[in-house]
Amino acid sequence: MMMNMHDKNSFPPPFIYRLVIFIFDNILDKIGFFLFPFKFLTLLATWLSRFVWLLSNEYSKRSFGSCGRGVRIYDSFYLSAPSNFKVGDNVHIGSNAFLRAEGGIVIGDNTHISRNLTIYSMNHNYQGELLPYDSARILKPVKIGRNVWIGMNVTIVPGVEIGDGAIIGMGAIVAKSVPPLAVVGSASQRILKERDAEHYRKLDEANRYAGMSGYTRKDKNTK
């Protein structure tokens, strides 16, 4: 059954329908010409943004230890020690990636990574002379093989190797190496080990507390 637009029970009501038609026919149609510059500027801004992104992409890749062809790195990309970062061909890294490459990071060909990736190839020394850790860096390389797919919000810890063809599910914390072709999901939280209680107690009693990045604090609260 077809709806009669003049029926008082129809939707939208007839007066609303007529009002919309009037606006489109008599107002928007006449001012559309004046809106064109704003539409053009919006489109131009989009083009410029993409152009700047492409330039930034190419500039960033020049600082890598090595970089293959067809590498795409999206916005908000943080990389420390870029000379220790090596990437193969056809690698895609999504937005908001955070990579600490002091210990070395290698990513093989055809590996695709979603947004919010975190990789650390270094760690602080919590067995040193300050709490919670000192300024010494423990370096362990991270190696990601060929044809790997890594989902969103994945964290990879120092020393991990991910084999060719592996898949890492969304939200996973990769704390140990992954064999080739394995499909890995999020693991439940568990205690890995305990700190040296005596070592901790001595430093705590001596007020041996670290400042930024583990360096010794120089204030009245330290001894």
Residues marked active site are found at 124
Contact between 142 and 104 (Cβ < 8 Å): yes
Taking CA atoms, 163 is separated from 110, 169, 180, in Å, by: 13, 14, 4
Three-state secondary structure call for residue 151:
coil
Q: Kindly report the backbone phi and psi dihedral angles of residue 67, in degrees, each rounded to the nearest multiple of 5, phi listed first.
A: -145, 125
Q: How far, rounded to the nearest angstrom, does the alpha carbon of residue 189 sit from its chain's CA centroid?
A: 22
Bridge partners, residue 113, by sequence: 93, 150
Query: What size, in residues, is the chain?
Result: 223
Cα 190 versus chain centre, distance: 25
Beta bridge partners of 202: none
C-beta atoms surrounding 191 within 10 Å: 5
| DSSP character at residue 73 | E
Read off the tokens for 40: 């053009």
3-state helix, strand, coil in the chain (%, to 5): 30, 25, 50
The two most distant CA atoms of the chain are separated, in Å, by 88
